[in-house]
Amino acid sequence: GSEVSQESLLLHGPFARKPKRIRTAFSPSQLLRLERAFEKNHYVVGAERKQLASSLSLSETQVKVWFQNRRTKYKRQKLEEEGPDSDQKKKGSHHINRWRLATKQSSGEDIDVTSND
């Protein structure tokens, strides 16, 4: 008959997901080269990316994603260096400051942003 199993639809239907990509394990020498390139420039595009990828035996996509992840790590490290008490670190502090301005609240008494009530 023409019966199609539910499992078959999930695996091969119009909304089937691509199989999960295997994580790239970069060699120490590849990481060294990528880190050096990142020190010079946090963005690598076009011919430079193509050249770097081929010299490291990686795809351009692997290089692109490595740089995306490295920029994220860099930003996180920058925030941590500023210290846990910096305003950037307090999630939502800019919203509270905007609320204070909008409602003309003084910043004298702090608002507990961590409580769940």
Give the pLDDT score at 19: 85
Q: How many CA atoms lie less than 13 Å away from 39 in the CB half-sphere?
A: 6
Per residue in 11-42, pLDDT (tens digit) is: 666 777 778 888 889 999 999 999 999 999 99
Amino acid at 17: R
Q: Which tokens hold the place of 89?
A: 């670190």
Per residue in 88-109, pLDDT (tens digit) is: 545 666 666 776 777 776 655 5
Domain at 24-79, CATH from 1.10.3720.10, 1.10.10.60, 3.40.50.11440, 3.40.630.10: 1.10.10.60
Domain ranges for the chain: 24-79
Angular region, 104: left φ>0, alpha ψ -120 to 50, beta rest: left
Query: CA-to-CA distance for 115 and 109, rounded, in angstroms?
Result: 15
What's the whole-model pTM score? 0.58
Q: Is 56 helix (H, G, I), strand (E, B) or coil?
A: coil
With bands split at pLDDT 50, 70 and 90, how would you rate the model's confidence at 2?
low
